[in-house]
DNA sequence: TTCCAGGGTAACG
DNA sequence: CGTTACCATGGA
């Protein structure tokens, strides 16, 4: 391909890129990708080089990937396609998920609102685990601020057409930081220790995405044994990085709030209630959770009126 | 001012 | 063992 050419990637039906864009643009503080005129820009790391992607909608059921930075090799093109398919979960058949939603008292109102929305992933393991650790216990505003400081302090910035975008720091860099380095960015001592610890495990090969993908049950066990990774963080990584659609972060406050709003309730559900509700979602717990997160962006939709 | 945030650990009793 | 304090800041 040359710079004016592109690759078309098909998605299973139904697919709505617009819904993905709503999720991608939920925070103006996001620093790892940019959305301009309904096009998504982000650098991805390949074997020996970085590649800028521009992702555009194409009719209803497909995306076009452009390469504004340079003409990639055919191998790089394949990697880009694989990345986009994984990032936006283009290959999942959502029909059975919608069947489940329509039978579910809580979710049935959301099917028509968000039809075609995919579970947006975080394909890079360190980015996924790091983001989860950063997000523990603090509000999303502060979480995005912490991530931005980390990225702009220890990540790499790459430019194009006068603009620039950051890449999440390499685990090799973070593994060699001190707790004090991260505390300067307003990480708590604990958060700093957790993040550095996970970076070290990824560096020395103890923690590997490809190995965890071979056995998701074993992956859950391994994640939970890591200091700083409890049940919520383990399920979060399974859900967004390892693409386990049955992963279920029961402790998630966002999930609790979404259930509260949809029920028109004054109080959040107990953990036991969330377990009970989630039991009806079968192998789609992660997808159901993601759709409920989506409902928090525009809380007016989906509620009984 | 107080309380809660997309939790988890360590120190209690 | 179950329970509690603590983190560290922003927003409601």
Whole-angstrom distance, CA of residue A288 vs CA of residue A295: 11
CB of A145 lies under 7 Å from some atom of strand C: yes
- Calculate mean pLDDT across residues A217-231: 97
Strand partners, A120: none
**Confidence band, pLDDT 50/70/90 cuts, at residue A115:** very high
Dihedral, A225, A193, A149, A154 alpha carbons, nearest 10:
-90
**Quick check: A93 and A72 in contact, CB under 8 A?**
no
Mean pLDDT of A158-185: 94
- A23 Cα distance to chain centroid: 10
- For position A302, what pLDDT does the model report? 45
pLDDT in tens, A62-75: 999 999 999 999 99
Length of chain A: 305
Rounded to whole angstroms, the Cα distance separating A90 from A262 reads: 27
Strand C footprint nucleotides (protein C-beta < 7 Å): 7-11
Active site residue A252: yes
Vertex A179 angle, CA A177 and A183, to 5°: 110
Q: What is the pLDDT of residues A171-182, one digit of tens each?
A: 999 999 999 999
User: Region A62-90: what's the mean pLDDT?
Assistant: 96
Residue A144: what are its φ and ψ, rounded to 5°? -65, -35
What is the band of A242 on the pLDDT scale with cuts at 50, 70, 90? Answer: very high
Please report which helix (H) or strand (E) contains residue A109, including its range: none
Instruction: Flag residues 183-202 of A with CB < 7 Å from strand B.
Output: 188, 190
């Amino acid at each position: 391909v040359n710079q004016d050419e592109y690759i078309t990637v098909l998605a299973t039906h139904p697919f709505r890129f617009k819904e993905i864009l709503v999720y991608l643009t939920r925070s103006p503080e996001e620093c790892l990708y940019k959305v301009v005129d309904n096009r998504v820009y982000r650098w991805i790391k390949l074997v020996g080089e970085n590649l800028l992607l521009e992702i555009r909608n194409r009719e209803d059921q497909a995306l076009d990937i452009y390469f504004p930075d340079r003409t990639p090799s055919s191998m790089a093109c394949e990697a880009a396609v694989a990345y986009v398919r994984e990032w936006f979960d283009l290959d999942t058949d959502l029909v059975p998920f919608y069947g489940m939603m329509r039978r579910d008292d809580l979710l049935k109102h959301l099917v028509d609102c968000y039809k075609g929305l995919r579970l947006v992933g975080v394909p890079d393991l360190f980015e996924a685990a790091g983001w989860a650790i950063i997000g523990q216990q603090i509000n999303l505003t502060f979480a995005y601020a912490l991530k931005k400081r980390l990225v702009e302090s220890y990540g790499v910035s790459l430019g194009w057409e006068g603009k620039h975008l950051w890449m999440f720091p390499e685990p090799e860099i973070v593994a060699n930081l001190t707790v004090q380095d991260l505390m300067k960015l307003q990480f708590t001592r604990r958060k700093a220790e957790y993040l550095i610890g996970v970076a070290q495990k990824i560096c020395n090969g103890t923690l590997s995405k490809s190995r965890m993908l071979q056995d998701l049950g074993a992956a859950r066990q391994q994640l939970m044994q890591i200091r700083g990774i409890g049940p919520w963080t383990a399920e979060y990584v399974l859900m967004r990085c390892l693409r386990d659609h049955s992963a279920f972060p029961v402790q998630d406050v966002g999930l609790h709030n979404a259930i509260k709003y949809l029920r028109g309730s004054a109080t959040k559900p107990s953990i036991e209630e969330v377990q009970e509700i989630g039991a009806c979602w079968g192998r789609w717990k992660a997808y159901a959770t993601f759709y409920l997160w989506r409902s928090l962006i525009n809380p007016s939709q989906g509620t009984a009126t």
